[in-house]
């Protein structure tokens, strides 16, 4: 079956027309969701028909309401307008793409072992990772000031081991990793936006609190943590314990609230149990009240963890307000004007629009929490996340329908108040994407400066869009031009599995250093070793046998030479290579690879890096520079001589 034909047998429901490619997988997924009783009140008939999917190339001819469009092609030698920060999912990394070219510029190893850079094996990274070599990054967000990015840090979660990492934008290298206490499945994160204050982290998996063997068979006693981490010091400040599992996270623009979508209000532990109730919640955390409780000691301790915990399980309190929304919400995104939190329905075809300035009255008990919901447009089957153009429109990713739905916020609010609840129709366009879009984000969408130029649909399946490369398919991140009245698909971007989310940041806000600054906290460690050994890191080439038997090799590099042509150690020695790159020139990295010893790491211009290993059996072992650095790069090597 070709993309543009539809097999009537594959219609999912008599009422609901799924436009676009009627392929087996799309229909299969839709059927699965329906079989799970997952969709409530789904009725697509009122929605505008989605345009036919565009041919692979050339781009479709202009249609009514089209526009000249933003220029997606970036010529050789030209720079992109935006930095795109992509999470890498189960690859454990973060990637930097240029937008709109979608060229992958850099991979930043975070929770993963990286052979190219030695991340996970160098002394510094090994210490940060604490022996874990995998991770699952979902959400990347940058530090803010005054409602927009301040260009200092990138924060990213690890769902697998409940951690939060910070990348310094100076070097685009991880500088901190912390554990989230009493948490599993750390999922949604978001920094505060008025300044670099807290970074909030949601635990998606409810667990016994304390999780030490007690309460295992009584899920009613399970709970989940909303954790406030200081974005400057990366210290956990406090936690709020709630009964529900916390999914995506958002913050307002004033510093008053943080948000968490909360599905599984049933408190179930199986899929069926988690989908029982028709209603779940958007949890709203009142930051000042939480801080006050912490200051007044109205907190508990959970297990051995030293951090104060506000026990907010049970009914609404000064700390947490539960705004009812249709079943199993997923994404929550705050509009660039700071007025609304958009809560995507996932198992409901709606987005609930929560008006943030009504929350104070709800916290004060003057209005019901549900009265904060001012619109609930029907956007399609399986809405997951919402992006913004700064012009009053929202773009919601629709997983089951494989479309992006563009809708107008003001119209949705008007329609909600109208007699039939539907007039005016807020839905402006539904654009086919390929396939099964998860996250979406737009240029500067998570800031007050959303500029309405580019939208990314992070599609979970690529299927037939690329050459067949075997059972593991890539993901497909599609670039959509939103600068005109209509969304236009302009580019397919294959990615290695599996980005979950991205943010698109105006290039003028990010200023990395091209030469390694030696002020980075990492250098304090090397400096302290050098001081103890009476070594000048930047000049000396010395072998130091420490009292504990460790052999420290301090070495320099300058293309195409190492400061040492050879060094000698004994079989079984613990050897630590501390290499300093004397080249102070842009793009002149060296590295250090030791034959047959699984030692390989990167040392950038003006950088120092180190790795520790055990010397093998007696013999000669060449070490060499793995980074092409000079015409005589292949000759850049020396001998490690191991004696018995």
Per CB under 6 A, residues contacting ligand RUQ are 138-139, 187, 248, 330-331, 384-385, 438-439, 500-501
Shortest distance in whole angstroms from residue 584 CB to ligand CUA: 14
Q: Which is nearer to ligand CUA, 28 or 628 (CB)?
A: 628
CB of 497 to ligand CUA, least distance (A): 31
Residue number with CB closer to ligand CUA (489 or 577): 577
Whole-number minimum distance, CB 260 to ligand RUQ, in Å? Answer: 13
Find the farthest-apart pair of alpha carbons in the chain and give their distance in angstroms, rounded. Answer: 89
Helices (H) and strands (E) in the chain, counts: 7, 40
Cα–Cα dist 491/459, whole Å: 13
Q: Residue written as tokens 């398919």?
A: 473
Radius of gyration of the chain (CA): 27
Which is nearer to ligand CUA, 118 or 244 (by Cβ)?
118
- 344 Cα distance to chain centroid: 18
CB of 634 to ligand CUA, least distance (A): 8
Asked if 28 is part of the footprint of ligand CUA (rule: CB under 6 A), the reply reads: no
Structure tokens at 37: 């009783």
Of residues 224 and 302, the one with the C-beta less far from ligand RUQ: 224
Smaller CB distance to ligand CUA: residue 205 or 624? 624
Give the residue with the Cβ less far from ligand CUA, 569 or 625.
Answer: 625
**Counting contacts by CB under 6 A, is residue 633 touching ligand CUA?**
yes
- Residue 632 C-beta: closest distance to ligand CUA, Å: 9
Shortest Å distance, C-beta 92 to ligand RUQ: 14
Are 507 and 83 within 8 A, CB to CB?
yes
Q: Which of 143, 157, 248, 147 is nearest to 197 (CA)?
A: 143
Q: How many angstroms separate the Cα of 412 from the Cα of each of 409, 415, 532? A: 5, 5, 67
Task: Identify what 136 binds: ligand CUA, ligand RUQ, none; CB under 5 to 8 Å per kind.
Answer: none
User: Residue 636 binds which one of ligand RUQ, ligand CUA, none, with CB within 5 to 8 A depending on kind?
Assistant: ligand CUA
Residues 576 to 605: which contact ligand CUA by CB under 6 A?
A: 590
Choose among 161, 143, 140, 160: nearest CA to 152. Answer: 143
> Binders of ligand CUA among 540-559, rule CB under 6 A?
559
Backbone angles phi, psi at 29, to 5 degrees: -65, -40
Q: Which residues lie below 8 Å from residue 361, measured CB to CB, with a gap of 6+? A: 367
Angle at 208 between CA 204 and CA 211, to 5 degrees: 105
Binding residues for ligand CUA, total number by CB under 6 A:
8
Closest distance of CB 588 from ligand CUA, Å: 8
622 binds ligand CUA (CB under 6 A): no
* 8 Å CB contact between 27 and 18: yes
Smaller CB distance to ligand RUQ: residue 204 or 311? 204
If the CB atoms of residues 145 and 595 are measured against ligand CUA, the closer one turns out to be: 595
* Minimum CB–partner distance for residue 512 and ligand CUA (Å): 22
Look at the block and give the residue holding tokens 């302290």.
Answer: 528
Neighbour tally for 624: CB within 10 Å: 17
CB of 638 to ligand CUA, least distance (A): 12
Which residue, 462 or 537, has its beta carbon nearer to ligand RUQ? 462
Span of 66-74, 108-116, 310-318, 621-629 interacting with ligand CUA by CB under 6 A: 621-629
- Cβ atoms of residues 27 and 8 within 8 Å: no
Q: Does residue 636 interact with ligand CUA by CB under 6 A?
A: yes
33 touches which of ligand CUA, ligand RUQ, none (CB within 5 to 8 A by kind)?
Answer: none
Nearest Cα residue to 254 out of 343, 352, 357 = 357
Q: 534: left (phi > 0), else alpha (psi -120 to 50), else beta?
A: left
Choose one: 201-209, 445-453, 459-467, 628-636; the region binding ligand CUA (CB under 6 A). Answer: 628-636
Cα angle, residue 154 at apex, residues 295 and 585 outer, rounded to 5° = 130
The residues of the shown chain that bind ligand CUA, judged by CB under 6 A, are 559, 590, 625, 627-629, 633, 636
């Amino acid at each position: 079956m070709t993309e543009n034909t539809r097999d009537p047998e594959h219609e999912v429901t008599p009422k609901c027309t799924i436009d676009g490619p009627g392929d087996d997988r799309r229909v299969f997924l839709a059927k699965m969701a329906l079989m799970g009783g997952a969709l409530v009140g789904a009725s697509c008939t009122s929605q505008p028909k989605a345009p036919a999917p565009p041919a692979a190339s050339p781009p479709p001819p202009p249609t009514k309401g089209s526009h000249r469009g933003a220029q997606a092609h970036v010529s050789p030698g030209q720079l992109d307008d935006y930095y795109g920060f992509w999470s890498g999912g189960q690859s454990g990394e973060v990637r930097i793409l240029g937008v709109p070219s979608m060229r992958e510029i850099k991979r930043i190893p975070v929770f993963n072992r990286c052979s190219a850079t030695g991340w996970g094996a160098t002394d510094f990274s090994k210490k940060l990772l604490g022996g874990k070599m995998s991770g699952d990054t979902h959400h990347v967000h940058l530090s803010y000031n005054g409602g927009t990015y301040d260009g200092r840090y990138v924060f990213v979660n690890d769902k697998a081991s409940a951690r939060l990492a910070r990348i310094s934008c100076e070097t685009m290298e991880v500088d901190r990793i912390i554990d989230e206490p009493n948490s599993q499945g750390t999922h949604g994160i978001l920094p505060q936006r008025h300044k670099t204050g807290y970074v909030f982290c949601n635990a998606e998996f409810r667990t016994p609190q304390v999780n030490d063997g007690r309460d295992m068979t009584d899920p009613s006693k399970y709970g989940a943590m909303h954790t406030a981490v200081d974005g400057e010091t990366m210290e956990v400040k406090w936690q709020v314990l709630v009964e529900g599992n916390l999914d995506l996270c958002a913050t307002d623009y004033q510093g008053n609230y943080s948000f968490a979508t909360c599905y599984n209000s049933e408190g179930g532990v199986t899929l069926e149990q988690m989908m029982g109730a028709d209603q779940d919640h958007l949890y709203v955390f009142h930051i000042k009240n939480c801080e006050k409780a912490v200051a007044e000691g109205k907190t508990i301790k959970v297990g051995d963890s030293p951090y104060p915990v506000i026990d907010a399980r049970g009914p609404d309190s000064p700390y947490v307000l539960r705004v009812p929304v249709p079943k199993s919400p997923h994404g929550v995104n705050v509009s660039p004007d700071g007025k609304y939190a958009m809560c995507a329905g996932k198992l409901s075809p709606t987005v609930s629009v929560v008006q943030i300035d009504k929350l104070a009255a709800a916290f004060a008990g003057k209005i019901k929490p549900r009265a904060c919901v001012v619109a609930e447009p029907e956007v399609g089957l399986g809405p997951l996340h919402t992006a913004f153009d700064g012009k009053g429109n929202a773009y919601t990713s629709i997983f089951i329908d494989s479309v992006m739905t563009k809708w107008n916020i003001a119209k949705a609010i008007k329609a909600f108040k109208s007699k039939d609840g539907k007039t005016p129709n807020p839905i402006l366009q539904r654009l086919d994407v390929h396939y099964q879009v998860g996250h979406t984000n737009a240029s500067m969408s998570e800031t007050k400066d959303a500029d309405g130029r580019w939208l990314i649909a992070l599609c979970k399946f690529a299927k037939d869009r690329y050459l067949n490369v075997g059972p593991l398919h890539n993901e497909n991140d599609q670039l959509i031009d939103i600068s005109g009245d209509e969304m236009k698909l302009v580019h397919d971007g294959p990615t290695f599995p599996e980005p979950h989310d991205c943010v698109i940041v105006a290039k003028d806000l990010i200023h990395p250093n091209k030469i390694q600054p030696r002020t980075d906290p990492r250098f304090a460690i090397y400096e302290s070793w050098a001081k103890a050994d009476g070594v000048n890191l930047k000049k000396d080439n010395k072998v130091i046998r420490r009292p504990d038997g460790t052999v420290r090799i301090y070495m320099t590099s300058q293309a195409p030479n190492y400061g040492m042509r050879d060094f000698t150690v004994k079989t079984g020695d613990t050897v630590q290579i501390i290499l300093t790159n004397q080249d102070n020139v842009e793009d002149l990295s060296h590295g250090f690879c030791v034959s047959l010893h699984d030692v390989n790491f990167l040392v950038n211009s003006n950088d120092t890096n180190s790795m520790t290993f055990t010397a093998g059996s007696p013999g000669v072992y060449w070490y060499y520079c793995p980074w092409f650095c000079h015409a005589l790069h292949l000759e850049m090597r020396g001998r490690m001589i191991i004696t018995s």
